[in-house]
């Protein structure tokens, strides 16, 4: 089963419209030379999304993601942004369950599950993040933590066709420490087996599982060359057009 790679830039709380425009000025030139087939996604802040979408006119093959969404439809929910608003703005993917949302903003598996369902119902594609802390890994809880995150986060989600999973070990995010290609491959294989148990083998064979956590041009080829790693969710190394493009270049074998 061949799965097309999906490589996404998670800009987190960086880049207002002016910085995003400067990135795209460089990136849209570089991308013309890109020979690979990977799907490319940029996830700016909510505020920056409209200017990025506008700039992508004439810069093909790049999709836009948001970094979060409300599980509510509309109404008295101060500070929230709805799926309908994201669709209207031209967003296609929504990053959900990122470890920073889980640990800093207290998002539980139940909240993430509500957001995943809302996102799918709106015709948007969740990039559903899971991952263990170092303490959990060292305490032998890797498999139980990931199984719970997957089972509860995807509860009542019948079809995974539009779901991308991002496995991001928390200890590798923003730390410069990357899981070894072997560690990442083993864990991706495990995640795929959990999906097979829940959804059957053909859904497991089809679902794309990105790796995230200190991916950079120097380690991208080895990580992306693993059989169960279907892309990358990139933070720090996606802030500069040159290094994000360097990751893409290392994705076309
Ligand atoms: P990083 O972040 O590449 O800076 O480790 C990845 C992420 O948090 O998605």
Q: Percent of the chain scored above 90 by pLDDT?
A: 92
In the predicted structure, residue 1 carries a pLDDT above the cut 80: no
Residue 168 CB less than 6 A away from ligand 1:
yes
- State both tokens at 60: 């093909």
Whole-angstrom Cα Rg for the chain = 17
CA 14–ligand 1 middle distance (angstroms): 13
Give the contacts of 92 (CB within 8 A, at least 6 positions apart): 41, 63, 64, 65, 124, 125
Read off the pLDDT of residues 187-240 as tens digits, 9 standing for 90 and up: 999 999 999 999 999 999 999 999 999 999 999 999 999 999 999 999 999 999
Instruction: State the average pLDDT over residues 124-136.
Output: 97
Residue 56 is classified by DSSP as T
Q: Which of 132, 136, 168, 188 is catalytic?
A: 168
- What are the residues facing 212 on neighbouring strands? 233
Separation between Cα atoms, residue 44 and residue 21, nearest integer Å: 11
Choose the residue to mutate in 233, 238, 240, 246 for probing ligand 1, maximizing ligand atoms within 8 Å of C-beta.
Answer: 233
Active site residue 242: no
Residue 212 CB less than 6 A away from ligand 1:
yes
pLDDT mean across residues, the chain: 96
Separation between Cα atoms, residue 146 and residue 109, nearest integer Å: 11
Read off the pLDDT of residues 56-84 as tens digits, 9 standing for 90 and up: 987 888 999 999 999 999 999 999 999 99
CA 179–ligand 1 middle distance (angstroms): 12
Active site residue 98: yes
Residue 235 CB less than 6 A away from ligand 1:
yes
Separation between Cα atoms, residue 181 and residue 200, nearest integer Å: 26
Give the contacts of 2 (CB within 8 A, at least 6 positions apart): none
- pTM value? 0.97
Instruction: State the average pLDDT over residues 109-132.
Output: 98
Q: Which of 98, 100, 132, 136 is catalytic?
A: 98
Separation between Cα atoms, residue 198 and residue 196, nearest integer Å: 5
pLDDT at position 253: 63
């Amino acid at each position: 089963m061949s799965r097309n790679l999906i490589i996404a830039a998670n800009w987190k709380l960086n880049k207002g419209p002016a910085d995003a425009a400067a990135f795209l000025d460089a990136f849209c030139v570089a991308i013309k030379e890109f020979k690979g087939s990977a799907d490319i996604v940029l996830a700016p802040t909510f505020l920056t999304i409209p200017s990025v979408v506008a700039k992508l006119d004439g810069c093909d093959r790049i999709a836009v993601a948001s970094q979060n969404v409300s599980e509510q439809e509309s109404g008295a929910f101060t500070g929230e942004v709805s799926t309908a608003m994201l669709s209207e703005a031209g967003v296609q993917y929504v990053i959900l369950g990122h470890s920073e949302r889980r640990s800093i903003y207290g998002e539980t598996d139940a909240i993430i599950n509500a957001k995943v369902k809302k996102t799918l119902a709106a015709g948007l594609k969740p990039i559903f993040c899971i991952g263990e802390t170092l303490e959990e890994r060292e305490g032998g809880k890797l498999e139980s933590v990931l199984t719970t995150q997957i089972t509860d986060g995807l509860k009542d989600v019948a079809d995974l066709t539009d779901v991308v999973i991002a496995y991001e070990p928390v200890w590798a995010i923003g730390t410069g420490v990357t899981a070894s290609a072997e560690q990442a491959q083993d864990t991706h294989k495990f995640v795929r087996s959990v999906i097979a148990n829940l959804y059957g083998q053909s859904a497991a064979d089809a679902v794309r599982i990105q790796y995230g956590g200190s991916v950079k041009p120097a380690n991208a080829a080895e990580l992306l060359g693993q059989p169960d790693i279907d892309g990358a969710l990139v933070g720090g190394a996606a802030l500069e057009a040159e290094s994000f493009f360097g990751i893409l270049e290392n994705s076309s074998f």
